[in-house]
Chains A and B, each alone.
Chain A
Amino acid sequence: MRAATARAGLASLIVLGALVTLAAAVPTAARAHALAPRYDLPLPLWHYLAGAAASVALSFVVVALARQPLRPGAVTLAVNGGAALARALAAGLGVLGAAALALLLAAGLLGPIGDWDANLLPVAVWVLWWVGLAFACALVGGLWRALDPWQALARLVAARSPRAMQAAPPAPRRRPPLRRAFAGGCAPAVVLFIAFAWTELVWGGNAHPRALAALVLAWSALAWAGMALMGRAAWRRRCDPFDRFFGLLGRLAPLRLHRRAAGWTIVVRWPGAALLQARLPSRSETAFVIVMLATVGFDGLKETPAWEALSAQALALLYAAGVVHAIGYAAAGSLVKTAGLLLAPLAWAGVYLGFCALSAPLAGEPAGRVARRFALSLVPIALAYHLAHYLSYLLIQGQAALPALSDPFGLGWDLFGTRGREIDIGIIEMRTVWAVAVASIVIGHVVAVVVAHAEARRAYGPRALRSQVPMTVLMIAYTAFSLWILSQPIVEAG
């Protein structure tokens, strides 16, 4: 049986290799304009100053009020009897996810090729799923876990077969071969998240329907091979970057639905309250949060004039070294961006660990443990920045899904009467964008400071206030940095 599993795994890896080669072979040189541009104006100076001042002032208010240990209340409704409905809903969401995956793959493989918005697949992946679903998951916890098409299809296989795709294989004799190798933290998820961020921010073919479809197929092969080899639950816990990313955002959600045997539980809670109920994150889980913040931050940073100047200097260096001559300008530009993407998590981790080291003697705890303790409290700042950065993008470029949905395969259909509909770039007022950006960043900051203080009070007792001085300074600096990026004019560095 073990040999069969290994054979299946080997076959999956061969398929994966072939697909990655296919993805790399799709001509992408002429498509430097990968993703849709953002049209936001730089945040005006007084918005920037008001946001920064408000975050400093509110930090002091939180510190002054945080005399009592914080116990955020939650309303829990246990609904008994709706078990059949809950089961149907869960199954329905899984079917919905799987159907969407099938439709998007078909559109990517068969549909039209043209501008980035000609095909449903790039629009759905980069705008609706990566940006839109992130916001949805921050409102309703556990949404992605219910929709996840790869897990849903694996569950379907597991229900039909006694051995394949089980959550955790029962007998130790049949323990999947890779399970022990990855039995520690979520390091594979960190690596896969960086690889995914590379395809989003650097890869020139990410808006090409065929190339993106090949990538999705490669990911499917990898995910199912992983689930077959180590079990569904271990794959999700250790390797799946999307479950972890959407799950972390889901901890901010004010609403969460749990399915139980006898029905379901509806939890209504303060946004961010679930960040306080987590156990202490492991080292790799802390690294995942840092990588998530750094890649989202680098996404904004790479559109600033400062990065444009830096990358021009790096390109000049590469030119002098003869690298540009050897591989061409486009590849050299990607190389510089790749270096930035890899350096960003190191820079973020360095700054974060530095502040944790300052906090450590005040807290009476080693710096590494301080870093693990407060990693989750940075998640609200990341979500707030994500919202400020991407709200208008979602509302404007997301409209491209309407015409693409009416004719996903380029056959001249008009299923929903939205064929040929143009994008309305004035759908949201710029003043509204600015107001939402500043408000969300300040609110995210306050939630972060409250969560960090509550955690410090629980862990350190009377030493909490002193120990939180470096962390609060870091959060104010991080919020000011987010506002600074938004106040920069967007440029498209070649």
Chain B
Amino acid sequence: MLVWERRSRNLSDLIRYAIMPAIPAINTGPSARMPPAENGTSEFRRIAVFGGVYSNYLALAAALRDASKRGVDACFCLGDLGAFGPHPDRVFPLLHEAEVQCIQGNYDHSIGNDLPDCQCGYTDPRDNDFARLSYEYTLNHTHLENRLWMKEIPQQFLVRLGKYGLLMCHGSPRRTNEFLWESATSTHFLEHLAGEHEADVILATHTGIKWHRELSHDRHFINVGVLGRPENNGRTNVWYTVLEARPNLTVDFIPVEYDHLRLAQEMRDEKLPDEFIETILTGWWTTCLEILPAKERKRGKF
């Protein structure tokens, strides 16, 4: 089993200190305030941030091993633990053992609360069929204990990385299932979000494709990518992100190779759709393409 490499400080204590209660996913009230760094030991220096595990426990294990080798202070997951892949319960022991701090994605909210669907919001009838298949499989194969845990995890974290106040969310700081695509999001909109939520860095996932935009006053928006499936570029690897304050922010997108052939076989054994397996084997998205803006869609094969 994976053994998390502990740093010299007590990691759990540091994370408890660093994480503040989250503001609600649909934020209609005043913004939460970023906790100030009280002294030199009260903040992270290097962290790993994952998104969208989608039951891909093999990629999660590979990413955790890689992050450990890179000597990160802590790992964070921005939600959507289930969907798409096989054996959703295999993700949770890995997360707990490595003390990964998780926020709730729309999928986790649905599974945790036993809702009728994933709140993915598709309109294409074929995409809705795939979403339903995937949701029913995940709901039926997630142990009650894990569902209850997902129900209770926060929807946002505020974390301090060196001099930067980070706001971690799933889709956007104002809505859990909001898609912020690189080609469909203006820079001044991101400036507005950063200002409204008083964040130096906003970290999100949800779309499945990583990107980073520098904003004014050394602020940043970063989509950390997903571990669950490749990002529609014809390559089978997945991605996570390492952030470091040196003291200026560095953002490294880390490719993760994992045993995707084994995952595909397990998906076949679980009778998950051939279209999902094709994505794992080829790196091209085959379903749920309607949500992609023109530029992102054109980069794909379908």
Bound pair: A and B? no
Interface residues of A (CB under 8 A from B): none
Residues of B within 8 A of A (CB): none
